[in-house]
Amino acid sequence: MTELTYLDAGRTALAEEMRRDGRVWALGEDLGRGGVFGQYRGLVDEFGPARIADTPISEATIMGAAVGAALVGSRPVVEMRFSDFALCAVDELVNQAAKARYMFGGQGRVPLVVRQPIGMWRSSAAQHSQSLEAWYAHIPGLVVVAPATPADNYGLLKSAIRCDDPVVYMEHKDLWPAVGHVPVDAEGGLVPLGHGRLVQAGSDLTIVTWSRMVDVAMAAAALPDVPSIEVIDLRTLWPWDRAMVLDSVARTGRCLVVHEAVQAGGFGGEIAATVGEELFGRLKAPVRRLGAPRIPVAYAPVLEETSRITAAQVADAARRMV
């Protein structure tokens, strides 16, 4: 085990995969100076500008080049800097990368990873704070990943790079400095895609969550007078671990989905509907969702707080369900 930050865990994973496989390379804005958050720091010194490639400020160009490169056999890692900016490249990702394997009858694959930092961070305001994972989970052909810990950012990024389909890889900006033990293993260390993580066992209520909200759910579970809470970190939103969620809710009888993204139209609705369809007769309370209000994230800290899901809110929702 090695102690790493969430940011360094991702950088270590990418470096190891680039050493293992000469087809892996990265492209995006500012990579030559280490990336906007430092997540590529030092990599150009080892791998050179041909494999850590700086690009013009054009997300559509970056994504289009990566899709073409993936179709002819390389494995690009695309840096979008902020998930908000990736919207400029949605046509290349959604209409081209996601569809290629199906439309070419399996003869063309697009093994690329699109790193999209998400979430609220230091008053980044409305155009730098969104969590848009539900958009991508809606698109057939895309894998969607949202790691919550340094260990998962290491193991899931390695799995994403080895995946033969396009992966939208969403790292939460507020987690960059988080420190944890990481089972570094250059030859393996993979966390499989599509498998959730049981963070804490409990008997009264299941909380299903992912990314930054895992820590918030755990903080809520530690507050006074909170029922016994089982916390599941989905880790991968598509494919998501239906079996783990349904098994847990079948035991506890209650399900609360917590996410930072806007609640309306969020991925929590998919989980709630699935639990309702599969376990209706066994539920002790209606399934609940807790997500952000449908408002742009404000710049002013006091207004930004109105979009933030807190441990106190999660604890209050849990108490009301039992």
CATH number, domain at 40?
3.40.50.970
Full-model pTM:
0.96
Of residues 150, 145, 148, the one with CA closest to residue 161: 145
Strand residue runs (E) in 42-171: 52-54, 75-79, 113-115, 143-145, 167-169
Residues 46 and 162 in one domain: yes
DSSP one-letter string for 63-90: HHHHHHHHHTT-EEEEE-SSTTGGGGGH
d(CA 43, CA 242): 37
Q: Does the bond joining 239 to the residue before it have cis omega, within 30 degrees of 0?
A: yes
d(CA 151, CA 141): 26
What pLDDT does residue 187 have? 80
Residues 149 and 233 in one domain: no
What pLDDT does residue 193 have? 98
What pLDDT does residue 222 have? 97
Residues 263 and 151 in one domain: no
Domain count, the chain: 2
Residues 120 and 73 in one domain: yes
Tell me whether residue 225 is in a domain. yes
Q: What strand order describes the sheet that includes 236-238? A: 52-54, 24-28, 75-79, 113-115, 167-169, 143-145, 236-238
Strand residue runs (E) in 159-287: 167-169, 179-182, 197-200, 205-209, 229-233, 236-238, 255-262
Tell me whether residue 39 is in a domain. yes
Domain boundary among 182, 211, 229: 182
Along the 322 residues of the chain, how does pLDDT read in single tens digits? 899 999 999 999 999 999 999 999 999 999 999 999 999 999 999 999 999 999 999 999 999 999 999 999 999 999 999 999 999 999 999 999 999 999 999 999 999 999 999 999 988 999 999 999 999 999 999 999 999 999 999 999 999 999 999 999 999 999 999 999 999 988 888 999 999 999 999 999 999 999 999 999 999 999 999 999 999 999 999 999 999 999 999 999 999 999 999 999 999 999 999 999 999 999 999 999 999 999 999 999 999 999 999 999 999 999 999 9
What is the sign of the dihedral through the CA atoms of 236, 237, 238 and 240? positive
Residues 88 and 219 in one domain: no
Residues 31 and 173 in one domain: yes
What pLDDT does residue 1 have? 82
Domain boundary among 134, 159, 182: 182
Tell me whether residue 57 is in a domain. yes
Residues 312 and 246 in one domain: yes
CATH number at residue 237: 3.40.50.920
Active-site amino acid positions: 128
Tell me whether residue 308 is in a domain. yes
DSSP state of 94: I
Residues 134 and 27 in one domain: yes
What is the sign of the dihedral through the CA atoms of 289, 202, 306 and 267? negative
Tell me whether residue 12 is in a domain. yes
What pLDDT does residue 188 have? 82
Residue 301 belongs to domain spanning: 197-321
Residues 171 and 223 in one domain: no
How would you classify residue 109: left for phi > 0, otherwise alpha for psi between -120 and 50, otherwise beta? beta
What pLDDT does residue 186 have? 80
Looking at this protein, which amino acid is placed at residue 176? W
Residues 267 and 121 in one domain: no
Residues 159 and 226 in one domain: no
Residues 58 and 170 in one domain: yes
Domain boundary among 128, 158, 182: 182
